[in-house]
A and B are shown apart, each in its own frame.
Chain A
Amino acid sequence: MLRIEYAYDLLALFLLCAGLLNLRDRQWRTAAFWLVLAALFGGGEAVIRAKAAGVRWPAELAGAAVLVLALLAPGVGRHRVPMVPEAQREASARRLGRRLFGPALLIPLVTVLVSVFGGYLYLQGQPLFVPAHRTLLGLVLASVLAAVAATRLGRVPAPVALGEGRRLLDTLGWAALMPLLLAALGVVLTASGVGRDIAGFSARFIPIDSRLACVLAYGLGMAVFTVIMGNAFAAFPVLTAGIGLPLLVVHHGANPGLVGSLGMLCGYCGTLLTPMAANFNIVPVALLELGDDWAVIRAQWPTALALLAFNLLALYLLT
């Protein structure tokens, strides 16, 4: 049975290789960054298991490692690993032609096949893919198969895949870490009561008999709170419990499905506006070498604001 932990071990190995390759190139800071991250991925399961058994020091150690990563982060990935010369790439592109799309399209194809049909595969009576993680496992399997297909297509030895993967990982640099850190931050902020505080604060100032005011408070609250937290899923329970459910659904008798759905979509508009939503707005800055942390947000804020107005209007007209 394929478990998600195998995927983490695989990723830990990849990070380890990236760290060692940087060590070879005397990129000490980048090397240390990937090596510490590799340790966190390799040891993650042990941390969770120790925590469940009541042993807390591994979790504390992991937390200290996260702080070390934060201190290492500035400057990681500044050094660029050179690609093969353009003339060579052009020649290879002409030689291989449209076959190059094959391995690239293998990633979505295998991911979809596993997520749709993977549930029917069994090995010795056990499901081949753990149901809860089927799509992610599909993505991992797809990545491995695509890497094999790509090295065979390009007739390059397998270690080249690690070197090229490391080149892109260095390009990502610290941005790779942001989604995980923001998820951890969400937990800390929730545990610190920040969310409750904001919802309670805004609820005190809403004229509850005005439907317009309630719609604005809920929709804008979802957007603003998402901007702060970087994640509409973190904002949704807080704002809906604080404003959406008591004021719009109970007090004004709105359809709960409608309120929940449009509230979440207002939050998504906030996601388009915030650097806190790192995997959507910061990671592509690094991957596409845009040079400006706000470049993606600058390209999408008018869409986000227009859609937010659209959602607020729909919420007002339909409730």
Chain B
Amino acid sequence: MNHWPMLGVLIIVLGFVLRFNAVLVVVTGGVVSGLLAGYDVPDLLALIGESFVANRALLLIALTLPAVGVLERCGLREYARHWIGRLRGLNLTRLLVAYLGLRQLLSMLGMTNVAGHPQTVRPMLAPMSETAFERDKGAPATPEELARVRALAAATDNVGLFFGEDVFIALGAVLLIQGFYASHGIVLQPLAIALWALPTAIGAFVIHGLRLAVARRRLLARYPGQADAAD
């Protein structure tokens, strides 16, 4: 058996670790794997071109950008800040935990596309999180702190999406699992798969919620007197 194509995976891992441009790394790794597997150049080009084109749906999310851009120009992010500034009891942890729960529930109902990094995180959740954090801190935050807060907002969106989606019976993961078993002669109802994802969904909510509280405390720890206020 030809083990040489594994070299492509090694290139990708090394490329990411050494922080080369990710697009270049991935394409190089793919080309190397393909060539080592014995593809000739035209075949490999056709394989790459065809699979790229077949996955065009993955970029459709970019069509939300004009709307989001116009709203930003009209002050959406600034307004999101004012709005959250008026909700007194809402600190960073509570805001992100509320978003986490909402995102998980929506994903469980199959509504995975209603939120996301371009649609909700950049225009709304990120500025809201920054404002909530600055109020927690009681002073303007540094750019590093704000970047950390935005990264936490992005992470919360990911966790909420992943660990809700699996509970929905008519979408992606569950159908893939069902289809896999069906092709191996085991017939399962979607519900018999989806229900097993429920404990992990609850676990994800608890674990990530606790982590958000810890992350907020750590960010505030440098400012005595703020960390223990209203957690």
Cβ of A202 within 8 Å of any chain B Cβ, yes or no, is no
Cβ of B72 within 8 Å of any chain A Cβ, yes or no, is yes
Q: Interface segment, B49-57, B133-141, B223-231?
A: B49-57
Q: Are A165 and B23 in contact (CB under 8 A)?
A: no
Minimum C-beta distance from B176 to chain A (A): 6
Minimum C-beta distance from B140 to chain A (A): 15
Q: A143-B66, A174-B21 are in contact. Are A153 and B52 (CB under 8 A)?
A: no
**Which A83-104 residues sit within 8 Å CB-CB of chain B?**
83-84, 86, 89-94, 96-98, 100-101, 103-104
Q: Are B66 and A14 in contact (CB under 8 A)?
A: yes
Q: Are B47 and A188 in contact (CB under 8 A)?
A: yes
Residues of A within 8 A of B12 (CB): 185, 228, 276
Cβ of A44 within 8 Å of any chain B Cβ, yes or no, is yes
Q: A300-B159, A306-B207 are in contact. Are A194 and B151 (CB under 8 A)?
A: no
Q: Are B204 and A256 in contact (CB under 8 A)?
A: no
Residues of B within 8 A of A83 (CB): 72-73
Q: Are B74 and A93 in contact (CB under 8 A)?
A: yes
Q: Are A56 and B46 in contact (CB under 8 A)?
A: yes
Bound Cα distance from A198 to B26, whole angstroms:
19
Minimum C-beta distance from B209 to chain A (A): 10
Q: Are A161 and B67 in contact (CB under 8 A)?
A: yes
**Number of contacts between A and B (CB, 8 Å)?**
445
Residues of A within 8 A of B115 (CB): 108
Q: A65-B49, A153-B74 are in contact. Are A275 and B193 (CB under 8 A)?
A: no
Number of interface residues of B (CB under 8 A): 118
Q: Are B74 and A154 in contact (CB under 8 A)?
A: yes
State the main secondary structure of chain B at its contact with A.
helix
Cβ of A136 within 8 Å of any chain B Cβ, yes or no, is yes
Bound Cα distance from A111 to B82, whole angstroms:
27
Q: Interface segment, A121-129, A206-214, A259-267?
A: A259-267
B137-178 Cβ-contact flags toward A at 8 Å (1 or 0): 000000000011011111101110111001000001110110
Q: Are B66 and A164 in contact (CB under 8 A)?
A: yes
Bound Cα distance from A69 to B1, whole angstroms:
33
Bound Cα distance from A8 to B30, whole angstroms:
25
Minimum C-beta distance from A32 to chain B (A): 14
Q: Are A178 and B34 in contact (CB under 8 A)?
A: no
Q: Are A62 and B5 in contact (CB under 8 A)?
A: no
Q: Which residue of the partner chain A has the closest CB to B75?
A: A93
Cβ of B197 within 8 Å of any chain A Cβ, yes or no, is yes
Give the residue of B54, B67, B197 whose beta carbon is less than 8 angstroms from that of A261: B197
Residues of B within 8 A of A10 (CB): 63
Cβ of A268 within 8 Å of any chain B Cβ, yes or no, is yes
Q: Are B82 and A284 in contact (CB under 8 A)?
A: no
Q: A287-B121, A307-B200 are in contact. Are A103 and B71 (CB under 8 A)?
A: yes
Give the residue of A90, A188, A194 whose beta carbon is less than 8 angstroms from that of B51: A188
Count chain A CB atoms within 10 A of each CB in B33, B44, B74, B200 and give the residue with the most. Answer: B74
Bound Cα distance from A309 to B172, whole angstroms:
24
Minimum C-beta distance from A246 to chain B (A): 10
Jot down 5 A-B pairs with beta carbons below 8 A, ordered by A. Answer: A70-B28, A92-B73, A154-B70, A271-B162, A298-B151
